[in-house]
Amino acid sequence: MSEVIIRGRHIVKEFRLGLTGRLRLRAVDGVDLEVMRGETVALVGESGSGKTTLGRILVGLLRPDRGTVTYREWGLGGRLPRHVRARLQVVFQNPDASLNPRMQVMDILAEAIRAAGDTASREEVLDRAISLLEMVGLSADHLPKYPHELSGGEKQRVAIARALAMRPEVVLADEPVSALDAIVRAQILELMYRLQEDWGLTYIFISHDLSHVWYLSDRVAIMYAGQIAEVGPTEEIFREPAHPYTAMLLTSSTSVLPYKPRLTVRPVGESPSLISPPPGCRFHPRCPYATEQCRAERPELRQIGPGRLVACIHAEKVLRS
């Protein structure tokens, strides 16, 4: 279980804004993260916290400006061999835009099946397409349909089937259920859970809904303003947050959570500008624990328990309170 398959080191990603690109928005700022085989690691944070950017970098869809990402023995960042590229797949948030509106489900799946390097005989492609649809709870009846004839949940199932066609090891799920209705959400999450059990998939699960995170993930990485605030096993993070920001997230969550937050941190302020972030700890302007040191020094991620890392100098105080 604890074999590391994706290793990100000091990842930095900047986006240039403005006419001359003089403004730089640092979406991800020096992130270290490891992904273990067969686990689900959730990236959690507000919009603009860099979780989507980080997710894309971790599966090699975006190139970091600095730092390295490796998947097993391959470095991500350049062109990958086809069979390696195939093992890192994605499922996106917006099911309406995930499927090419001009292609039938048959064509969408056939393209993926052929891209995976599977046999190109028409019967075999058809067989495989049907078995993929059945895996995600659809049937051969969906093959002739165009995306606009499918419901949101069905579209997302087709998107998952397309990812599975590549026989991936890692699937980046970028808010896969945020755009869906409540009941459909539960069904898709359950499907993802079942597929993981059956195929030993590794998920990088991006979400801002903590109840989804609780349901699906083994580990959580809390992101704030392009940096990781805290990483650890889901259970522990939810029960005993060590970073004041995590506590604030848990306090302000509207979803039903397993633990009543022991520590309540009233949400104040807004997430900072990524173009000119505050000095020191980026959370200090909103943090009830902030001291002089927080305003001056950027806290490093440090270990506070088995598998638990936190970027806060007051973590012990937060845990005790």
Partner 1 sequence: MSDLVRRVKAAKRERTAQMWRTFRANRAAYASLYVLAAMALMALIGAFYTPYDPYRIDLSAALGFFSPAHPLGTDWLGRDMLSRIMEGARYTLGISFAAVLLGAAVGSALGLISGYYGGLLDAIIQRATDVLLAFPTILLAIALTSVLGVGILNVVLAAGIATVPIYIRLVRNLTLTLRNEPYVEAGRAMGLSGPYILFRHILPNLSYVIVVQSTYYMGITILIVSALGFLGLGVPKPIPEWGTMIGDARDYIFTYPHVVLVPGVFISAAALAFNLLGDGLRDALDPRMATLLRRT
What are the residues binding partner 1 (CB under 8 A)?
59, 61, 80, 82, 85-86, 88-90, 92-94, 97-102, 104, 106, 111-112, 115-116, 122-123, 126, 130, 140, 143-146, 148, 159, 162-163, 166
Taking the complex as a whole, how short is the minimal distance between the CB of residue 97 and partner 1, in angstroms?
5
Would you give the distance in Å from CA 305 to the centre of its chain?
23
Q: Which is nearer to partner 1, 88 or 213 (CB)?
A: 88
CB atoms within 10 A of CB 238: 20
E strands, the chain, are 4-17, 23-36, 40-44, 66-71, 74-76, 88-91, 170-174, 202-207, 219-224, 227-233, 302-305, 308-310
Q: Least separation, in Å, of the C-beta of 215 and partner 1?
A: 23
252: helix, strand or coil = helix
- Minimum CB–partner distance for residue 117 and partner 1 (Å): 9
Locus of tokens 């969906």:
142
Residue placing its CB nearer to partner 1 in the complex, 143 or 311? 143
Which is nearer to partner 1, 148 or 260 (by Cβ)? 148
Q: How would DSSP label each residue in 14-51?
A: EEEESTTS-EEEEEEEEEEEEEETT-EEEEE--TTSSH
* Alpha carbons 142 and 138: distance in angstroms, whole number: 7
The least CB distance from residue 51 to partner 1, in Å, is 16
Quickly list DSSP for 186-209: HHHHHHHHHHHHHH--EEEEEES-
Please state the three-class secondary structure of 63-77 as a single string. CCCEEEEEECCEEEC
Nearer to partner 1, 117 or 307 (CB): 117
Shortest Å, Cβ 37 to partner 1: 19
- In the numeric block, the tokens 């970073």 are attached to 243
CA distance 245 to 224: 8
Q: How far is the CB of 142 from partner 1 (least distance, A)?
A: 11
What phi and psi values does residue 24 have, to the nearest 5 degrees?
A: -120, 125
**Least distance to partner 1 from the beta carbon of 46, Å?**
21
Q: What is the residue whose two structure tokens read 């960042």? A: 77
Q: How far is the CB of 77 from partner 1 (least distance, A)?
A: 14
Q: Which is nearer to partner 1, 160 or 263 (CB)?
A: 160
Question: Dihedral through CA 241, CA 246, CA 252, CA 254, nearest 10?
Answer: -80
